[in-house]
Amino acid sequence: MHKLGNNESQIRFIEQKAREIRIDIVKMTGKAGSGHPGGSLSAADIVAALYFGDVLRVRPGEPDWPDRDRFVLSKGHAAPVLYAALARKGFFPVEWLDTLRQLGSPLQGHPDCKQVPGVEVSTGSLGQGLSMAVGMALAGKLGRKDYKVWVLLGDGECQEGQVWEAAMAASHYKLDNLIAIVDHNGLQIDGKTEDVMSVDPLGDKFKAFGWQVLSVDGHNIPSLMEVFGQAMGVKDKPTVIVAETVKGKGVSFMENQKDWHGKAPDAAQLEQALKELTAV
Amino acid sequence: MAEMKATRDAYGETLVELGRENPDIVVLDADLSSSTRTSLFAKEFPERFFNVGIAEANMMGIAAGLAHSGKIVFASTFAVFATGRAYDQIRQSIVYPGFNVKIAASHAGITVGEDGATHQALEDIALMRALPGMTVLVPCDARQTRLAVRAAAAYQGPVYIRLGRAKVPQVYPDDAGFEIGKGLVLWPEPEVPGGYKTVLAENRRFDVAFVGCGITVGLALEAARTLEQDGISCLVADMASVKPIDEELLAKIARSSGAIIACEEHSVIGGLGSAVCEVTARSHPVRVVRLGVNDQFGESGPAGALLEKYGFTSERYCQVARGLVGR
């Protein structure tokens, strides 16, 4: 098993970063007056652990470093969580976050890799990130590079057929340098995933496609760090981590509410959200 | 009789040449490698060839991911599946980020023949042309295909290359050049790409100018030969680079010709004919007749019979030209 640092102080550091990211998410969507806080908040701990737990080998000052690990946000509508993590990691100035979704801002509503350092590919049309990640992982194998490719998928996104085309290809090519994480928050725009179109049991589906399947509490940093370490040690097959999460996590009135998928907080709601997120 | 060869055959052979020259060339196919001729590359470079199975959407995404890591990627399948089924993947995963992917699609147009309408792409040029930053190349013969494929490989950015199933006559001599963004004048005197100034600088007037791409170029040349004998002066230009289109040449043609006949093995909506109208309407309005398939699907039949039925004959082109000139 790959050993990632998992000591007390590092855990506290990641948790603090996750809190900062959540604060950024509500602030920037509030300022923008639109955006997707629910699915950004559900992924905040996952993304914080990847970027601030030294899981991803990246160089903020050299975003195109050829040997870097790749992170693909396939659920592109969660752009705020990625932007916050990249800014806090030093890929671009934190001030950019205030410009989310505004005319002329590099921070488009859905990520544009041409404009934002650290954004690997442009996503937003669901179901396409895993295929691109397969291509990156193949390129890594061809070039005998040891980088890993991480992909974050939504559970609703797994209704897209292309996800399963890519899943089939990833195991066919034995891409053990590819790790997918499903942000399993159980909600999509129109309601509960199980009501709209059942995707579960997701783990069994990936297993049937030849993947190593791991599961984790997507809001427990020590558990996330442990499962990431396990995933990095898997050989000869791709790994999926089904992360159980809560949509809107961290803001009481957003938690498990489908309406907060794609709605920004107003001034009063923002104030309430910030009060909750800054209370320790 | 001119030498006959399918553009897809030239594509397959050129891929092998490129593979030998550049280790970064990677080829993808979606279970049609024997038809698209990527099988030639697969045979020589199995480690750089990926048959992704019958999954065109996934193929485009994988192509994007490979290009993202510095590979020059050629992705092939039939034109109807490449551009129709995987349109969103081409748009979002490849063209929006500007990745270096060449979509080389075979079996375009009605010359697919017996497989019928489901397999005959007649809207692919329109779809690809509408994408911001996409380059669209429609070579007319095997030699030009080789040059177009090499030009696409040398160019940084997404390219769509439209290839055919049927054997087609050789239009160009060995030494014909090819340049993305340049049209080629073939009649009354053949010129090098961009070297149309000789023909068009003398204030010469042409009764009719044919502007074509793909298989229609050869038909237009045949028509021009016949029409000249009848005293109707013609110009024939090959717009193999449908996008970016050679606006300078089109403007010159518009100014020097009584009418333009734009011809393509494609729907008359959105393809080369539309591109010609867009340019001439701005630069020098001239009458443009669009010859192609008239807003309808194709059907099964031998390629030759379909060409006849849908008006892809030099006789039909002559008839339209005579009608325009009033003779």
Q: How many residues does chain B have?
A: 327
Same fold, B4-169 and B184-321: yes
Q: Is the pLDDT of residue B54 over 90?
A: yes
In whole angstroms, what is the distance from residue B263 CA to residue B271 CA? 9
Helix axes A129-142, A161-172, angle to 10 degrees: 20
Identify the pLDDT of residue B201: 73
Identify the pLDDT of residue A2: 59
The whole-angstrom distance between B140's CA and the closest CA on chain A is 32
User: What amino acid occupies position A125?
Assistant: S
Domain boundaries, chain B: 4-169, 184-321
Quick one: average pLDDT of B157-179? 91
SS3 B205: coil
The whole-angstrom distance between A66's CA and the closest CA on chain B is 8
Label residue B198 by pLDDT band (50, 70, 90): low
Residue B290 main-chain phi, psi, to 5 deg: -100, 120
CA-to-CA separations, B187 to A210, B255, B280, in angstroms, rounded: 59, 17, 20
Subunit contact A120:B68, Cβ cutoff 8 A = yes
Please check whether residue B36 is in contact with residue B165, taking contact to mean a CB–CB distance below 8 angstroms: no
Subunit contact B58:A66, Cβ cutoff 8 A = no
Q: List, in sequence order, every beta strand (DSSP E) within B48-198.
A: 49-51, 72-76, 101-105, 135-137, 159-162, 167-169, 184-187
Subunit contact A139:B58, Cβ cutoff 8 A = no
A74: closest chain B residue by CA? B93
Helix axes A44-52, A8-32, angle to 10 degrees: 130
Record the tokens describing residue A262, joined without a space.
Answer: 């794609």
Q: List, in sequence order, every beta strand (DSSP E) within chain B.
A: 4-6, 25-29, 49-51, 72-76, 101-105, 135-137, 159-162, 167-169, 184-187, 208-212, 234-238, 241-243, 259-267, 287-293
The whole-angstrom distance between A250's CA and the closest CA on chain B is 32
CB-nearest to A138 from B66, B91, B98 is B66
Chain A residues in contact with B58 by the CB 8 A cut-off are 131, 134, 162, 165-166, 168-169
Closest C-alpha among B68, B64, B72, B80 to residue B25: B72
Could you check whether the bond before residue B188 is cis, i.e. omega within 30 degrees of 0?
A: yes
A8: left (phi over 0), alpha (psi -120 to 50) or beta: alpha
Q: Is the pLDDT of residue B2 over 90?
A: no
The whole-angstrom distance between B89's CA and the closest CA on chain A is 7
Chain A residues in contact with B91 by the CB 8 A cut-off are 125
User: What amino acid occupies position A127?
Assistant: G
Record the tokens describing residue B74, joined without a space.
Answer: 């050629």
CB-nearest to A132 from B55, B65, B70 is B65
Q: Is the pLDDT of residue B46 over 80?
A: yes
Chain B residues in contact with A66 by the CB 8 A cut-off are 69-70
A166: closest chain B residue by CA? B58
Subunit contact A131:B88, Cβ cutoff 8 A = no
Q: Is the pLDDT of residue B257 over 90?
A: yes
- Number of A/B CB contacts below 8 angstroms equals 105
Q: Is the pLDDT of residue B162 over 90?
A: yes
Identify the pLDDT of residue B199: 72
Label residue B200 by pLDDT band (50, 70, 90): confident
Chain A residues in contact with B53 by the CB 8 A cut-off are 165, 168-169, 172
A113: closest chain B residue by CA? B97
pTM for the model: 0.96
Q: How far is CA A93 from the centre of its chain?
A: 20
Closest C-alpha among B109, B128, B121, B168 to residue B144: B168
CA-to-CA separations, A174 to A68, A177, A236, A239, B26, in angstroms, rounded: 20, 9, 5, 10, 18
CA within 13 Å, CB half, A178: 34
In whole angstroms, what is the distance from residue A169 CA to residue A172 CA? 5
Identify the pLDDT of residue A280: 66
Identify the pLDDT of residue A182: 98
SS3 B167: strand
Active site residues per annotation of B: 56
In whole angstroms, what is the distance from residue B285 CA to residue B251 CA? 9
Record the tokens describing residue B254, joined without a space.
Answer: 């518009």
Calculate the average pLDDT of chain B. 95
Residue of A64, A142, A171, A173 to mutate when probing chain B, most B C-beta within 10 A: A142
The whole-angstrom distance between B233's CA and the closest CA on chain A is 50
The tens digit of pLDDT for each residue in B258-313 reads: 999 999 999 999 999 999 999 999 989 999 999 999 999 999 999 999 999 999 99
The second-level CATH assignment, the architecture, of B184-321 is: 3-Layer(aba) Sandwich (3.40)
Q: Is the pLDDT of residue B27 over 80?
A: yes
**Close Cβ partners of A141 (under 8 Å, ≥ 6 residues apart):** A173, A175, A177
Neighbours of A2 (CB within 10 A): 12
Identify the pLDDT of residue B189: 84
B59: closest chain A residue by CA? A131
User: What amino acid occupies position A264?
Assistant: A
Any chain B CB within 8 A of the CB of A140?
Answer: yes
For chain A, list residues with pLDDT below 50: none
In sign, the C-alpha dihedral spanning B31, B37, B41, B44 is positive
Q: Is the pLDDT of residue B194 over 70?
A: no
Place of tokens 């320790």: A280
CB interface of A with B, residues 114-133, below 8 Å:
114, 120-125, 127-133
Q: What is the DSSP letter of B33?
A: H
A140: closest chain B residue by CA? B69
In sign, the C-alpha dihedral spanning B205, B210, B213, B217 is negative
Residue B74's beta-bridge partner residues?
B27, B102
The second-level CATH assignment, the architecture, of B4-169 is: 3-Layer(aba) Sandwich (3.40)
Quick one: average pLDDT of B234-252? 96
CB-nearest to A135 from B48, B53, B62 is B62
Please check whether residue A121 is in contact with residue B52, taking contact to mean a CB–CB distance below 8 angstroms: no
Label residue B179 by pLDDT band (50, 70, 90): very high
Residue B259's beta-bridge partner residues?
B287
The tens digit of pLDDT for each residue in B99-117 reads: 999 999 999 999 999 999 9
**Close Cβ partners of A268 (under 8 Å, ≥ 6 residues apart):** none
Record the tokens describing residue B277, joined without a space.
Answer: 């109208």
* Burial (CB count within 10 angstroms: exposed 0-12, middle 13-18, buried 19+), residue A255: middle
Identify the pLDDT of residue A245: 98
Subunit contact A169:B64, Cβ cutoff 8 A = no
CB-nearest to B96 from A122, A136, A162 is A122
Any chain B CB within 8 A of the CB of A85?
Answer: no
Helix axes A267-278, A8-32, angle to 10 degrees: 170
CA-to-CA separations, B60 to A133, B54, B153, B266, in angstroms, rounded: 12, 12, 17, 23
Quick one: average pLDDT of B13-27? 98
Chain B residues in contact with A131 by the CB 8 A cut-off are 57-58, 60-62, 64-65, 89, 93
Please check whether residue B128 is in contact with residue B83, taking contact to mean a CB–CB distance below 8 angstroms: yes
Identify the pLDDT of residue A3: 60
In whole angstroms, what is the distance from residue B203 CA to residue B218 CA? 26
The tens digit of pLDDT for each residue in B60-110 reads: 999 999 999 999 999 999 999 999 999 999 999 999 999 999 999 999 999
The whole-angstrom distance between B93's CA and the closest CA on chain A is 7
Q: Is the pLDDT of residue B1 over 90?
A: no
Q: What fold is seen in the domain A8-278?
A: Rossmann fold (3.40.50)
Record the tokens describing residue B151, joined without a space.
Answer: 């030009």
Please check whether residue B158 is in contact with residue B101, taking contact to mean a CB–CB distance below 8 angstroms: yes
B101: closest chain A residue by CA? A135
Subunit contact B69:A143, Cβ cutoff 8 A = yes
Percent of chain B with pLDDT over 90: 91
